[in-house]
Chain A
Amino acid sequence: MSIDILMPALSPTMTEGKLARWLVKEGDDIKSGKVLCEIETDKATMEVEAVDEGTLLKILVPEGSEGVAVNSVIAALGKPGERYEAISNPVTPAKAGAQTLEVTQPPKILDPGFHRDDGLNVQPVMMREGRIAASPVAKRIAQERGVNLYAVIGTGPNGRIVKEDVESALVQTDRTVAPAKADITPTKLPSPAQAVPAAQTGPNAKQLADLLGQKYTEVKNSPVRKIIAKRLTESKQTVPHFYLTVDCELDALLAARKALNEKENAKISVNDTIIKAVALALREVPAANAAWTEEAILKYNDVDVSVAVATPDGLVTPIIKQADTKTLVKISSEMKDLAARARDNKLKPTEFQGGGFTISNLGMFGINHFAAIINPPQGCILAVGAGEKRAVVKDDKLAIGTVMSITLSVDHRVVDGAVGAEFTAAFKKLIEAPEGWLK
């Protein structure tokens, strides 16, 4: 009786792959460990070795075949001289696949950074070996919903895959189509479910580093770091970003700020003026002060501006509420207080939850241009670069001007290109003509 050779799963997300090349032919004597074929996915190419011994009776999937489903029969092994007969009642896929195939060649991961070809015995990191320990309910759900159990990490007794593991694997897959939730609160009492790490894509750095013998120091992820990772991954993966960049001349603004600081004996920063300008521009273009939900676009009534502040734990975004109604002196003092308390981790949730629009300013670090990741559920984030002297053309002559580049990252579901441009134009106009409002 012949033994089926099944299409293996090479990665967590793999449901099908390309059978690139057969390295053996029908009638060949197969010894355990012999490389049978090469399989390609969008991520990697891998050699597949035989575990069982025998004669290759039949190749069922010709080389070059694309879209070969995981666990489908690709070939059959048997005794010399035996004739291949299709088995009408195929064996349990997962089990048989594991028994007849074992991938022991190094994964040829396409990213050159992880490539190695020195023949060391590297296992594909997410691949399991042997029989899968999974509860019956977990197996049933996996079957119903097409989850590859080889890719699921079990959290049950002795690493057994339980229902919850399959369900969270499904959630991770579904997340790409799920709407961003307006849940910014770092929950005070994290439940185990929330402790699930942000969706892991690509090779696990630690497992790889350990395999390759790279040295490193582990810095435990703080709860804040985990939330940043989760939310930014979610944002970048699920929010359709586009970017609008404009240059703003700062000379008039710098002069007006200096005058105001002298008059008020204050220390209003350029960043404070940017907060106010953003707030006024949002008044003019309220469509940019908005968030996406599946049912409706939420246009916020108040102009609440979140400002990204770097802290030792990571990024927080305290809010200047109703910034459009506040004086610069007021914005400046509030910002100083919020930033100081943010660094000390003493903000109240209400001081960083909410907000309709975020400013991220890296000008003080000499960055002249960057694009920020949207802070969900908000629709826009403004990345502010450094004000620097650049050659500008004034009245058809070359001149020196202080110029700042800003880039608006926009959620295209909420704000279209023209509306985004309207906002950047309004902002630019305010920055370049501060007389009316910078006071």
Chain B
Amino acid sequence: MTAFDLIIIGGGPGGYVAAIRAAQLGKNVALVEAKHLGGICLNWGCIPTKALLKSSELYYTLQKLDQYGLEAKSTAFDLTKIVKRSRDVAGQLVTGIKHLMKKNKVTVFDGFAKLAGGGKVSIDLNDKSKTEISAPHIILATGARPRVLPGIEPDEKLIWTSKEAMIPETMPKSLLVIGSGAIGIEFASFYRSLGAEVTVVEIMDRVLPVEDEEISVMARKAFEKQGMKIMTGAKVAKLEKSANNVTATIEAGGKTETQTFDRVISAVGITANTENIGLESTRVQVERGHIVTNPWCETHEPGVYAIGDVTAPPWLAHKASHEGIICVEKIFGVPGVHPLDTKKIPGCTYCHPQVASIGLTEAKAKEAGRAVKVGKFPFIGNGKAIALGEPEGLIKTIFDATTGELLGAHMIGTEVTELIQSYAVAKTGELVEKDLMHTVFPHPTLSEMLHESVLAAYGKAIHY
């Protein structure tokens, strides 16, 4: 049996980052991956969907070329090529991870790992053979998969999960998206931009329900303007499949309606991968389907740690990566390790228009009893946004009225996913309003809106 300093089960953005960090610390690391290095993020999540969305966004722009004084001979798309590009992007990055593992001398096992007790891990290798390895520290980074609701079981053909939705063979004419979280809305945007009739059903009273309410309202308006049908406070009661379409019974506002769709995408959350990895014989505790950890990613079983989607929310790739580093540094005694503060993790949704946020929403800040100062700045007041032909959107910042602490920021509009990071730095550095006011933002950029929004919270916005 080969002994390692650290075994990591799962090669997604949590696991492979943890592996690299441990290797940097001079440790002998084993990484076990059942399917594909890079995990869902690289293979069937973040990255390939961004490739798809780039295509749909360009296509959307093509439709309004004359607005920019341009003409194109053809404004058609080839779905097969769009999907192929997305797969190629994923493939390229997976190759990159393989290279990184090699470069860092991480031993990669292609197989399914199971805790075997006493620091041992047994692996059913993909070549059907078995092996056993051991280490004093084992990190579970097994991730999650799409959640399945009874009655909405995906069948890979008519009822899709995010995975099938990423590799369509034909363009559905009509599409039902169940769930308006980040995943559901991104697919709704993609298919709508390419011309599908898209209906989004959300059980909560607004789309993107974790976002600030004002942003949710603006997002809904923008989606509806693009021709999406949005049903909130609504529930899919039944799906009846025929040969090539699905009839959905949707309950909303006490009324029931039925409608037929070519395809259905179920995007109702995730389920952690906690099965068959040998948790039963450990003290590891699972709560609401996810592994319970402390701020150092330690489980209740000494020597066993967990990071990323298999643990508590937020379920974001960058959270997993960060936990991977914290966990490894804590294990190997790197001085100055700090636990992750979930209030400082930005979240991004790449629908059109994009949505990004960090920290508390206005409602949550008030609920927490904070006196707040709220600043808002619309895209219409920003020169760059107008020059880009993207005058719709809003930047909203929320400060603690007493201490000037940046409590949260919420934004909607073009490229806001690239803007949110300034506020993440501000939150991590614990900057107050004055620091942000004193920061010089380059002109002309969209980032100037962050500055204006901060100024607006104190009644000092210049351009609005």
Contacts and interface: CB of A to CB of B under 8 A. Distances in A.
A13 to B, nearest CB: 22
A246 B431 CA distance: 61
B298 A137 contact: no
A163 B434 CA distance: 16
B274 to A, nearest CB: 18
A192 B430 CA distance: 19
Interface stretch (B105-113, B156-164, B177-185, B397-405): B397-405
Contact of B432 (A140, A189, A191): A140
Which of B430, B431, B435 neighbours the largest number of chain A CB atoms within 10 Å of its CB?
Answer: B430
B294 A191 contact: yes
B300 A136 contact: no
B430 A162 contact: yes
B339 interface: yes
Nearest to A157: B336
Interface residues of B, number: 20
Contact of A135 (B336, B338, B339, B430): B430
Nearest to A138: B430
B405 A140 contact: yes
Given A136-B430, A136-B431, A136-B432, A189 B403 contact: no
A157 B337 CA distance: 9
B404 A137 contact: yes
A135 B430 CA distance: 6
Interface in A154-188: 155-157, 162-163, 188
A136 B404 contact: yes
A188 B430 contact: no
Contacts of B432: 136-137, 140
Contacts of B430: 135-138, 162-163
Contacts of A162: 430
B58 to A, nearest CB: 41
Contacts of B429: 135-136
A144 B339 contact: no
A154 to B, nearest CB: 11
Contacts of B431: 135-137
A190 B330 CA distance: 14
Q: How large is the interface on A (under 10, 10 to 19, 20 to 34, 35 or more residues)?
A: 10 to 19
Contacts of B336: 157
A385 to B, nearest CB: 42
B404 A188 contact: no
B298 A140 contact: no
Contacts of A192: 295-296, 339
B403 A188 contact: no
Nearest to B283: A188
A391 interface: no
Given A163-B430, A192-B339, A137 B405 contact: yes
Nearest to B337: A192
A418 to B, nearest CB: 42
A11 to B, nearest CB: 26
B295 A137 contact: no
A60 interface: no
A137 B370 CA distance: 15
Nearest to B429: A135
Contact of A163 (B293, B298, B405): B405
B339 to A, nearest CB: 6
B15 to A, nearest CB: 22
A136 B438 CA distance: 13
A144 B402 contact: yes
Nearest to A142: B403
Which of A138, A140, A144, A156 neighbours the largest number of chain B CB atoms within 10 Å of its CB?
Answer: A140
Contacts of A190: 294
A157 to B, nearest CB: 7
Interface in B154-179: none
B365 to A, nearest CB: 15
Contacts of A155: 338
A382 B431 CA distance: 53
Nearest to A189: B294
A188 B435 CA distance: 40
A163 to B, nearest CB: 5
Given A141-B403, A162-B430, A192-B339, A136 B294 contact: no
A144 B403 contact: yes
Contact of B434 (A136, A188, A191): A136
Contacts of B405: 137, 140, 163
A136 B402 contact: no
A162 B432 CA distance: 12
A135 B404 CA distance: 12
Given A141-B403, A157-B336, A188 B300 contact: yes
Which of B293, B403, B434 neighbours the largest number of chain A CB atoms within 10 Å of its CB?
Answer: B403
Contacts of A163: 405, 430
Contacts of B339: 191-192
A136 B293 CA distance: 31
Contacts of A144: 402-403
Given A157-B336, A163-B430, A192-B339, A140 B295 contact: no
Nearest to B339: A192
A344 B240 CA distance: 62
A155 B336 CA distance: 8
Contacts of B296: 192
Interface string B402-446: 111100000000000000000000000111101100000000000
A191 B295 contact: yes
Which of A136, A138, A155 neighbours the largest number of chain B CB atoms within 10 Å of its CB?
Answer: A136
A380 to B, nearest CB: 35
Nearest to A143: B403
Contacts of A140: 403-405, 432
Contacts of B404: 136-137, 140
A190 B295 CA distance: 9
A374 B435 CA distance: 49
Nearest to A158: B336
Nearest to B341: A164
A312 to B, nearest CB: 20
Contacts of A188: 300
A191 B330 CA distance: 13
Interface string A119-162: 00000000000000001111011001000000000011100001
27 contacts: A135-B430, A136-B404, A136-B429, A136-B430, A136-B431, A136-B432, A136-B434, A136-B435, A137-B403, A137-B432, A138-B430, A140-B403, A140-B404, A140-B405, A140-B432, A141-B403, A144-B402, A156-B338, A163-B430, A189-B292, A189-B293, A189-B298, A189-B300, A191-B294, A191-B295, A191-B339, A192-B296
Closest 5 CB pairs of A and B: A135-B430, A137-B430, A189-B294, A136-B432, A140-B403
Interface of A: 135-138, 140-141, 144, 155-157, 162-163, 188-192
Given A137-B431, A191-B295, A192-B296, 19 more contacts: A135-B429, A135-B430, A136-B430, A136-B432, A137-B405, A137-B430, A138-B430, A140-B403, A140-B432, A141-B403, A162-B430, A163-B405, A188-B300, A189-B292, A189-B293, A189-B300, A191-B339, A192-B295, A192-B339
